Amino acid sequence: MATTLLGTGVFILPQMTVNMAGHGAMLAWALLTLAIIPITIVFAQLGARFPHAAGPAFFVEQAFGRVLGRAVGLSFLLIVPIGAPAAIMMTFQFFQVMVPIAGWGKLACELLVLLVLLGLNLRGIQVSAKAQFALTLCIVAVVVLMFGSGVSRATQYQAPQEVLNIHGTLQAMGIAFWSFLGVETMTHLTTDFRNPRKDFTPAMMIGTLLVGAIYLVCTWLLLLLPSDAPLAMISAFDTLLGGYGTQIIGILGIASGLATTNVYAASVSRLLSSFSEQGITPRWFAPRNQHNVPVRALAFVLSLMALVLLANFLTDTRLDQLISWANGVFVVIYLLSMLAAVRLLSKGYRPWAVLSSLMCLVLGVALGSAMVYAITLMVILLPLLWLQLKLRRPPLPPMAAS
């Protein structure tokens, strides 16, 4: 769970929230972590009681029908053009600290990364779960060492008297939501647990609270050691641990970013291929090579990423805008999943589902105009899927496990 939620964001998002909210960033992270707890509980119960590889799309289909369920599934697919380029842009913030590069040269390097991912994925090469877990342990170890060193300085620290910036705190919550994207992905793995009803909820809760604590610590460190550096965590590392922050945090950030983008490319290309096999998307995306890799789907997904990177470069779109648009889609998916839980779960868990729905609405308000992308997707997808369902004879088959 922690491996899913942590990544490049742990060294970048705290700085973004501090820039938006000042000392209100601590409150933003604390409130967001508290808000995610009921959502995590509800997802855990849905996953334990309705184990299915399709996760949220399956829950929504069971509660509200095939059209809305398919729309949720396709929404996941359409997050990639936004989410993956954001992950690459985060990765290159670490790369730029180690190797100064900008302009068209930076764009060329970002596109080169996509070509490398294409070559790796065509041969079915993936980052193993063990390697990903080891990377997460390294990130956690660095944060713990910095925290230990920072505690000794805390006695000399005096927080400045400043008025709480409510608008900035809400903005920070909207951006920080990126750190918890992945809570729902655990519901795809319930069938891998020996005893989902007993073990699934504790696993999700421990992972969520651990990640929330790590982000709170990172934010506290940046408030303790303010810096104008492009990556303030590197400056904090150098101050607390005596140097080599550029190399250590830079390498961890680059490795984590590449691993995250590779997972995006591999998983979503397979999702697109699966949709093609079910007749939801064109059959053209279905074929796979000898390594069971959906080549056309993979090439299409990576091409979309390349187009978004080019568009972002030409329009000078900020990273926080890209993150907010992706977060908006997840807010809609989470909200629909929580509303589905109101219908699917027992009476004892319905208050949690209602509370979670309200939390999702608060996050939607925090994101403000960034919700336009998510709402536009739903407005386009729902009538198209409804029309597809009406025109197909026989009707679409029930959602198949992948």
| Distance of alpha carbon 220 from alpha carbon 287, whole angstroms | 49
Tens of pLDDT, residues 125-164: 555 567 777 888 888 888 888 888 888 777 665 656 667 7
Is the full-model pTM beyond 0.85?
no
Number of domains in the chain: 1
Confirm whether 283 is domain-assigned.
Answer: yes
| Distance of alpha carbon 238 from alpha carbon 243, whole angstroms | 4
Query: Would you give the DSSP letter of residue 395?
Result: P
- 8 Å CB contact between 151 and 300: no
Q: Amino acid letter at 174?
A: G
Confirm whether 249 is domain-assigned.
Answer: yes
Task: Please give the structure tokens belonging to residue 37.
Answer: 């707890």
Q: Which of 108, 1, 6 is nearest to 44 (CA)?
A: 1
Task: Please give the structure tokens belonging to residue 248.
Answer: 């250590």
Neighbours of 338 (CB within 10 A): 26
Confidence of residue 194 (pLDDT cuts 50, 70, 90): confident
Confirm whether 344 is domain-assigned.
Answer: yes
Confirm whether 159 is domain-assigned.
Answer: no
* Kind plus residue range of the DSSP H or E element containing 274: helix 245-277
Tens of pLDDT, residues 318-375: 888 888 888 899 899 999 999 999 999 888 889 999 999 999 998 898 888 889 989 9
| Distance of alpha carbon 286 from alpha carbon 293, whole angstroms | 10
Task: Please give the structure tokens belonging to residue 316.
Answer: 């000078």
The domain that holds 292 is classified in CATH as 1.20.1740.10
Confirm whether 363 is domain-assigned.
Answer: yes
Domain that holds residue 15: 2-153+166-391
| Distance of alpha carbon 326 from alpha carbon 332, whole angstroms | 10
Confirm whether 209 is domain-assigned.
Answer: yes
Confirm whether 8 is domain-assigned.
Answer: yes
Confirm whether 132 is domain-assigned.
Answer: yes
